[in-house]
Amino acid sequence: MRVAEFQVLCRRLEATPSRLAKVELAAEFLQRLDVDEIPSAVAFLSGRVFPASDPRVLEVSWATLAEVLHALVPPPAGGSLTLLDVARGLAAVAEVSGPGARRAKVERLGELLGRATADEREILRRVLLGEMRIGLHEGLLEEAIARAAGADPGLVRRAALFRSDLAEVARIALTEGVPGLQAVGVRLFVPLLPMLAELAGDLSEAWEAHGGRTALEFKYDGARIQLHKAGDQVRIWSRRLTEVTGSLPDVVAIAARELRAGSVILDGEVVAVGPGDRPLPFQELMRRFRRVHDVDAAVREVPVALYLFDCILVDGRPLIDEPYGKRWEALEQVTGGRRLARRLVPGDAAAGEAFFAEALAAGHEGVMAKALDSPYAPGSRGKRWLKVKRAETADCVIVAADRGSGRRRGWLSNYHLAVRDEAGGFAPVGKTFKGLTDREFVEMTARLQALAVDDDGYTVTVSPEVVVEVAYNEIQRSPRYRSGFALRFARVTRIREDKGPAQATTLGELRALYERQFASKGRRG
């Protein structure tokens, strides 16, 4: 498959408003791919350089790419570059490391793009920057894969939840068909998307949603992990499905020593702790996750507590379809009752409120309320799991930043915040310059500059990759922003290193939070 054909497809998708037509175009393209082209082609359509399960990173900034493109000779008139040429070329760029890596990456990227026509260079630039903007979001791509394979879209969606990599699901669908998709399930050392929770206004809402019978767990201010163990081998993934085994040797040792099962997949949380095992700020925990060298020193400097709260697989038997109550029993058996999240099944609302107060007094965020009959639904967010917190927060994506003035001169310090909209884009909901320390401002400035895609001299537009937790006093209607809402007195409470932009708060969730405000206050007009 030539890149020229891929470029034509992308232009047609971009110009096609019909969802059905987009699916048909993409499906026809997928059917023409050779087997070894499928993973890269699907990754490119998703705006990714490599498939989601591929740990390689390109480490090429917007500025470096601009330098490469500026230095290129005039493009050839005809294109002979193939998708496999691009995949191999990008792999070669990713492999470069050590002294002189930047220059070597520039040279290899220049060699690859030098073979591309002007139109091909433009579409490859968009792939490299994650800016496809062709209207083929994940749901439509799943439908296209299903159509190309003659499978039910629900079967493709189910496989995607277990594999967490649409490129791999496409390979299975297009080469093994419906039987291959049906065989996809929970697999050791293949992380699956975590089950998610909706935000509840208070415990009474959770109580009502679960019919007066719910399990409450402390909601810890830590990092979600998924722990896989088979025999002596233990591996750990973050909420974003990034492997963090090397950062958590102490947790690996606990799992190897204490878990009573030949094979197991557990869901849990790690929390940085200080004297008296009081939880430390989330940013302290991120020091552990970022550390590549001197990990042993980091273990001593930032000890962590492990809290487990779900059992997804035990001794080869998946438990995702078992009710939460049964999964908790399996978790107790596997752990011997150790390292479990603090939990209560309250007999009445008063006991639940006391437990909530206990969680807050212990320094935690609040509680999770889980329906006792709920299955484990990977990647799903709903009322079967609800989170109840004291302060209202939203997880927003930084889409731009203004240059600071005065003592903040030289920093990008006024952040443009956005939530995910229904079309898969990002809808602005306000700005804030509050919440970060001076050191964090410096670090964030460098990070955002590396993600820059446009700069008018005052505002730097960035690729939407950084997620921050934002506390606010109130959600207001606002004609100023495309979302129709603004966060009043917004301030950053932490940088969500454990979340990607796809896991940010949605516009629908923000709209529900806005409506919920009027349960305790009047509505004007």
**Are the C-beta atoms of 161 and 192 separated by less than 8 Å?**
yes
What's the mean pLDDT in 298-311? 93
Mean pLDDT computed over every residue of the chain: 93
What's the mean pLDDT in 73-87? 92
pLDDT in tens, 353-383: 999 999 988 888 899 999 999 999 998 889 9
**Are the C-beta atoms of 49 and 58 separated by less than 8 Å?**
yes
Q: Which two tokens stand for residue 6?
A: 């891929």
Tokens 């947790």 — which residue? Answer: 251
Say how far apart CA 209 and CA 386 lie, in whole Å: 9
Please give the CATH topology (third level) of the domain spanning 3-182. Answer: DNA ligase i, domain 1 (1.10.3260)
pLDDT exceeds 90 at position 5:
yes
Q: Phi/psi at 156 (nearest 5 deg)?
A: -65, -45
Q: Which two tokens stand for residue 40?
A: 């890269």
Give me the half-sphere count of Cα atoms (radius 13 Å) on the Cβ side of residue 64: 19
Report the length, in residues, of the chain.
525
Among residues 22, 105, 219, 389, the one annotated as catalytic is 219
- Percent above pLDDT 90 for the chain: 78
For the ranges 103-107, 432-436, 519-523, which has the lowest average pLDDT?
519-523
pLDDT at 361: 87
Residue 477: CB atoms within 10 Å? 11
In 3D, which of 254, 388, 384 has the Cα closest to residue 327?
384
pLDDT exceeds 90 at position 352:
yes
Q: Which two tokens stand for residue 100?
A: 């002189």
**Are the C-beta atoms of 282 and 221 separated by less than 8 Å?**
yes
pLDDT class of 519 with cuts at 50, 70, 90: low
Q: Which two tokens stand for residue 506?
A: 């949605």
**Are the C-beta atoms of 130 and 417 separated by less than 8 Å?**
no
Q: Which two tokens stand for residue 258?
A: 């204490």
pLDDT exceeds 80 at position 341:
yes
Write the DSSP string, 485-516: EEEET-EEEEE-TT--GGGSPBHHHHHHHHHH
Could you tell me the sign of the dihedral formed by the alpha carbons of 360, 498, 140, 131, in that order?
A: positive
Residue 27's H or E segment, with its range, is: helix 19-31
Q: Please give the CATH number for the structural domain made up of 393-519.
A: 2.40.50.140
The structural domains of the chain, with segments of one domain joined by +, span 3-182, 196-389, 393-519
pLDDT in tens, 254-301: 999 999 999 999 999 999 888 878 888 776 888 787 777 788 888 888
> What are the contacts of 359-362 at 24+ separation with CB within 8 A?
359/218, 359/219, 360/390, 362/218, 362/278, 362/279
Could you tell me the sign of the dihedral formed by the alpha carbons of 290, 296, 298, 302, in that order?
A: positive
pLDDT at 408: 87
pLDDT at 525: 40
Write the DSSP string, 388-454: EESS-EEEEEEEEEEEP-GGGTTSEEEEEEEEE-TTSSEEEEEEE--S--HHHHHHHHHHHHHTEEE
pLDDT in tens, 453-478: 999 999 999 999 999 999 997 898 99
Give me the half-sphere count of Cα atoms (radius 13 Å) on the Cβ side of residue 243: 14
Q: Which two tokens stand for residue 398?
A: 């930084």
pLDDT exceeds 50 at position 45:
yes
In 3D, which of 228, 250, 196, 135 has the Cα closest to residue 499?
196
Residue 36: exposed, middle, or buried by beta-carbon count in 10 A (0-12, 13-18, 19+)? Answer: exposed
Say how far apart CA 186 and CA 177 lie, in whole Å: 19
**Are the C-beta atoms of 479 and 145 separated by less than 8 Å?**
no
Q: Phi/psi at 291 (nearest 5 deg)?
A: -70, 125
pLDDT in tens, 218-265: 999 889 999 999 999 999 999 989 899 999 999 999 999 999 999 999
Say how far apart CA 471 and CA 391 lie, in whole Å: 7
In 3D, which of 324, 308, 311, 213 has the Cα closest to residue 263?
311
Say how far apart CA 54 and CA 31 lie, in whole Å: 23
pLDDT exceeds 70 at position 406:
yes
Q: Please give the CATH number for the structural domain made up of 196-389.
A: 3.30.470.30
**Are the C-beta atoms of 397 and 419 separated by less than 8 Å?**
yes
pLDDT exceeds 80 at position 2:
yes
pLDDT class of 523 with cuts at 50, 70, 90: low
Q: Is position 326 annotated as part of the catalytic site?
A: no
Q: Are strands 233-238 and 223-230 parallel, antiparallel or unpaired?
A: antiparallel
pLDDT exceeds 80 at position 1:
yes
